[in-house]
Amino acid sequence: MTTVRIKELPQHVGEKVTVNGWLYNKRTSGKLQFPIVRDGSGYLQCVVFKKEVDEATWNSVEQVTQESSVRVTGSVRAEPRAPGGVELGVESFEVTQLTQDYPITPKEHGTAFLMDLRHLWLRSSKQHSVLRIRNEIEKSIRDFFYDRDFVLIDSPILTANAAEGTSTLFETDYFGEKAYLSQSGQLYLEPAAAAFGRVYCFGPTFRAEKSKTRRHLMEFWMVEPEVAFLEFEGLQDLAEEYVEYIVGRVLERCQEELKTLERDVSKLENVKRPFPRITYRDAIEVLKKNGIEAKFGDDFGGDEETVIANSFDKPVMISRYPVEIKAFYMQPDPQDPQVALGLDMIAPEGYGEIIGGSQRIHDHDLLLQRIKEHNLPVEAFQWYLDVRKYGTFPHSGFGMGVERVVAWLSGVPHLRETIPYPRMLNRIYP
């Protein structure tokens, strides 16, 4: 007997097949039972007709409980009204394990309860859809860079360097020396850009952010491209092309998932180049116009970002932030040295900053000065300064937080549902 995944059943209409999975739901009407089986690839409506099966089979369907593991055999029939367009006329229904008291029932549950059961919650249709969208986003990221001849440079997770400020470091002991979990792979990519021209890294990053917001995780996945000889204007073009591409891929390949999540896709279909580009100084004016007090030098929090985003119907790129509120490595604007050639891209609909990037300082002495001004240990940055000593070159890059993009495209408000096992303030279980 051929074993088939539910997703592939439409190619097997008229055949007798076996499906392995778990009981998702069940409906009964007299002499007919309709168990719905899921196998991770889809949902299958099974039809059990009392006259067509033996008594043992009928009884096992009657007794089967939610999330019991099952092995079902029968013939595949076209049925336009069923999920996936097919149903299975059941001949045999074996229960591998009869599940007792599955804790997540179709009724409403509180978030804390579901988070404690995250390992089981992954089976629920909504969570399943979000993580499939994540899977598509991650594949589209790799395709985008691979197709444009970027080389993947896996950056280390254990590091001696603070890339994004010293206040959010997770510290660990490295054989008697201090080491940190990486906040960003950027510092390691810049030397690699001199070796390969176009590079990117994609991995987990860690920030001990003592803030309990829906937009922050302690462990999140970041993708970071870095390009030699790319200057600030080109960086904005790259960020825009890249975001348009990812959104297009999700719209094209995740239609089922977006439907399950009831995502308003018209908002996503609108995400086409060009995106609005404003400066930090313009953003201050937007805030003031909306009745929010803001002055040069203020950093924007989630609320400010949402007000700015709501003034546009596409992602908006804000550039040229004050040097003092941005990272030590950002190139000052030659036209206006108070501001840095850095950009943040803010997603629409209140999903916040999805991209942060900049042109990098490529002058050795200026970079050294900034390292000192930020009280960073110069010895630990000697290797990074080397990039400016041996054939320095203008270069730029950005970082995109994958979970924020998953949240935006899926339409789920909180990052905790965008990663299989979220690491949050006060949560490292399961």
Q: Which residues bind ligand 4AD (CB under 6 A)?
A: 163-164, 184, 186, 207, 209, 216-217, 220, 222, 224, 353-357, 397-401, 403-404, 415
**Helices 402-410/125-147 angle, 10° precision:** 120
Q: Which residue is nearest to ligand 4AD (CB)?
A: 356
Nearer to Mg ion, 181 or 258 (CB): 181
Q: CA-CA distance, 421 to 120, in Å (whole number)?
A: 11
Total interface residues for Mg ion by CB under 5 A? 1
Give the ranges where 254-381 is alpha helix by DSSP (H): 255-260, 266-269, 280-289, 302-309, 364-373
Q: Check if the beta carbon of residue 409 is closer than 8 Å to that of residue 138.
A: no
**Strand residues in 360-405 grouped as ranges (E):** 395-401
Closest CB 326 distance from ligand 4AD, rounded Å: 9
Chain position carrying tokens 């629409």: 348
Nearer to ligand 4AD, 73 or 186 (CB): 186
- Cis, bond preceding 274 (omega within 30 deg of 0): yes
Closest CB 223 distance from ligand 4AD, rounded Å: 9
Nearer to ligand 4AD, 179 or 347 (CB): 347
Closest CB 404 distance from ligand 4AD, rounded Å: 4
Closest CB 284 distance from Mg ion, rounded Å: 17
* Region 206-245 residues binding Mg ion, contact defined as CB under 5 A: none
Choose the one of Mg ion, ligand 4AD, none that binds residue 411, judging by a C-beta under 5 to 8 angstroms depending on kind.
none
Choose the one of ligand 4AD, Mg ion, none that binds residue 407, judging by a C-beta under 5 to 8 angstroms depending on kind.
none
Stretch that binds Mg ion, among 119-127, 133-141, 280-288, 356-364 (CB under 5 A): 356-364
Q: Check if the beta carbon of residue 170 is closer than 8 Å to that of residue 182.
A: no
- Applying CB under 5 A, does 356 fall inside the site for Mg ion? yes
Nearer to ligand 4AD, 89 or 191 (CB): 191
Nearer to ligand 4AD, 38 or 370 (CB): 370
Closest CB 417 distance from ligand 4AD, rounded Å: 13
Nearer to ligand 4AD, 10 or 420 (CB): 420
The terminus-to-terminus CA distance of the chain in angstroms comes to 38
**What DSSP state is assigned to residue 189?**
H
Q: Using CB atoms within 10 A of its CB, is residue 192 exposed (0-12), middle (13-18) or buried (19+)?
A: buried
Stretch that binds Mg ion, among 110-118, 172-180, 189-197, 354-362 (CB under 5 A): 354-362
Choose the one of Mg ion, ligand 4AD, none that binds residue 398, judging by a C-beta under 5 to 8 angstroms depending on kind.
ligand 4AD
Which residues are CB-contacts of 351 (< 8 A; sequence separation ≥ 6)?
Answer: 215, 309, 404, 407, 408
Closest CB 184 distance from ligand 4AD, rounded Å: 4
Nearer to Mg ion, 188 or 321 (CB): 321
* Per-residue tokens: 321: 């932030």
Choose the one of ligand 4AD, Mg ion, none that binds residue 186, judging by a C-beta under 5 to 8 angstroms depending on kind.
ligand 4AD
Q: Which residue is nearest to Mg ion (CB)?
A: 356
Closest CB 356 distance from Mg ion, rounded Å: 3
* Per-residue tokens: 134: 């994540």
Which residues are CB-contacts of 104 (< 8 A; sequence separation ≥ 6)?
Answer: 114, 117, 120, 121, 123, 124
Closest CB 81 distance from ligand 4AD, rounded Å: 41
Q: CA-CA distance, 260 to 412, in Å (whole number)?
A: 12
Residue 326, classed as helix, strand or coil, is: coil
76: which strand partners? 88
Residues of the shown chain interacting with Mg ion in the complex, contacts defined by CB under 5 A: 356
